[in-house]
Structure 1
Amino acid sequence: MTYKHLFFDLDHTLWDFERNSAECLADIYEQFRFKSLNISSLDAFQSEFSIVNKYYWSLLESNKITHHELRQRRFRDTLLNLGADVDEDFGLEINEYFLGLLPKKAHLIEGTVEVLEYLLPNYELHIISNGWQDIQVNKMKSSEIHHYFGEIITNELAGTRKPDRRIFDYAVELTNANLAESLMIGDNYEADILGAISANMNTVFYNPDAITTTQKPTFEIKKLVELMEIL
């Protein structure tokens, strides 16, 4: 198969969300004086937020909540689960601080720049992300990968989010791509892989944790550099 258009997920695939988020959470822990809320462990806060955040993103991608509800609840619930007495307003205040800080972080998944340098001369590269447009763009600028990509397609632009096939259809139309020459690369099996499959797009499942899947992607890799063996 000859591909011309490569569509990448951003968070957890290229941009190291966990590492960047952990740095922001450490700052939040100090800035908002969490010790006074009887949250004595930064590790506990970071671990609980990771669990809660993934849960709310799964609800968002299933259209069970809105972006605003995610913003209101993820920090509130994290702190409630750790025994702090907080409300949605406080959770939203922390979330806005988090979203102001997060896009300034620059850590990338291992191999990202090497792979993008290898691919750029021969392919048109694009992003398909469920993140917020301005935040995703700023993440890419901070980590100095913005210039590798043509279109940055988010749910805000497409009016829908992965795994809805319409965001993939929108991406193909916007980039004037041929579906048969397009490839989706991402770490989220439901959103990236099953979503792209529903749009009849070939897929690369970046699966460092060796998650077992029921429906096989076109390709599966554990490290990004393995893309250079495929493409």
Structure 2
Amino acid sequence: MIKHIFFDLDHTIWDFDKNAEETLKELYQTYQLQTLGLNSTEEFIQTYTENNHRLWAAYHVGKISKETLRSERFSTTFIQLGIHPDHIPQQFEDDYVRITPTKTNLFEGSEKVLSYLQKKYSLHIISNGFKESTLTKMEVSALNPYFKNVIISEDVGVNKPDKAIFEHALQRAEALKEESIMIGDSLEADITGAQNFGMKAIFFNPQKKEAPEYVDWQIHHLEELLLHF
């Protein structure tokens, strides 16, 4: 009998890639990156997205630090696209981190689903996102009223998939494993993390990627949750 639903934030409710794309298009113009020889915004965004996803995957499991992630994602992108390190805009990362969390694109159906679930369940966030950015996203996207707790890995001291963050989240929510479920897009951080801890998990898979056998439950659109809860 589920009573508590724990959501990931980025890539699950808050549309990280769409919000990042909007920001990068703005910064492309602000920094006039075409004058550096970057003639394609699409190539720039695609290269950055690939690097960012790779670095976040390493950050989830503690292979790199927050500082390494932030210092490398754009420097690597610029260098891969042929920009000399001396010509990389020094404030680009800081502007990106400042602007992106103020974007408010959510996955389709988010507000409808959260409004429905809130009436029947206690909802909570477990995020590996950076604390300041996460709190900004929650506020400007008007998500705070839906959730009783927002658990952020920087506060806890460990990231998903570490069992300790799930244990902390259940203690904060005053919930039991058997009455809780995790919903997220990361197979390693959200699904494997929750399952290893002993919680049920739903894989949010909007791109319809092939899911491994250990995934017991997946959805491709958030509104599918209305059929099950």
TM-score range, shorter chain: over 0.9
- Offset at residue 188 of structure 1 (A): 0.9
1:212 aligned to 206, 210, 221, which one? 210
Sequence identity percentage: 36
- Offset at residue 195 of structure 1 (A): 0.5
Counterpart in the other structure of 2:23: 24
Amino acid aligned to 1:120: Q
What secondary structure sits across from 1:68 in the alignment? Answer: helix
Query: Hey, what's the Cα distance between the residues in 2 that align with 1:148 and 1:13?
Result: 15
Amino acid aligned to 1:131: G
Counterpart in the other structure of 2:75: 76
- Offset at residue 92 of structure 1 (A): 5.9
How does 1:26-105 map onto structure 2 within 5 Å? 26-86=25-85, 90=88, 93-105=91-103
Counterpart in the other structure of 1:137: 135
Is this contact kept in 2: 1:202–1:217, CA < 8 A? no
What secondary structure sits across from 2:82 in the alignment? Answer: coil
Query: Hey, what's the Cα distance between the residues in 2 that align with 1:101 and 1:193?
Result: 30
2:112 aligned to 105, 111, 114, which one? 114
Is this contact kept in 1: 2:184–2:203, CA < 8 A? yes
Amino acid aligned to 1:34: L
Counterpart in the other structure of 1:202: 200
Amino acid aligned to 1:102: T
1:12 aligns with 2:4: no
Gaps of 5+ in 1: none
TM-score, normalised on structure 2?
A: 0.96
- Offset at residue 91 of structure 1 (A): 6.3
Query: Hey, what's the Cα distance between the residues in 1 that align with 2:79 and 2:25?
Result: 18
What secondary structure sits across from 2:91 in the alignment? Answer: helix
Q: 1:92 to 1:9 in 2, by over 3 A?
A: farther
Summarize deviations over 1:106-162 as a string: whole Å, max 9, x none: 000011001001101111111011101121111121111121111111111111001
Is this contact kept in 2: 1:3–1:182, CA < 8 A? yes
Q: Over aligned residue pairs, what C-alpha RMSD do you find?
A: 1.5
Summarize deviations over 1:2-48 as a string: whole Å, max 9, x none: 11111000011000111110000011111122112111111111111
Gaps of 5+ in 2: none
- After TM superposition, where is structure 1 displaced by more than 6 Å over at least 4 residues in a row? none
Q: Tell me the number of residue pairs that the alignment of Structure 1 and Structure 2 aligns.
A: 229
Which deviates further from its counterpart, 181-190 or 207-216?
207-216
Query: Hey, what's the Cα distance between the residues in 2 that align with 1:74 and 1:215?
Result: 31
Is this contact kept in 2: 1:73–1:92, CA < 8 A? no
Query: Hey, what's the Cα distance between the residues in 2 that align with 1:114 and 1:92?
Result: 41
Query: Hey, what's the Cα distance between the residues in 2 that align with 1:127 and 1:163?
Result: 14
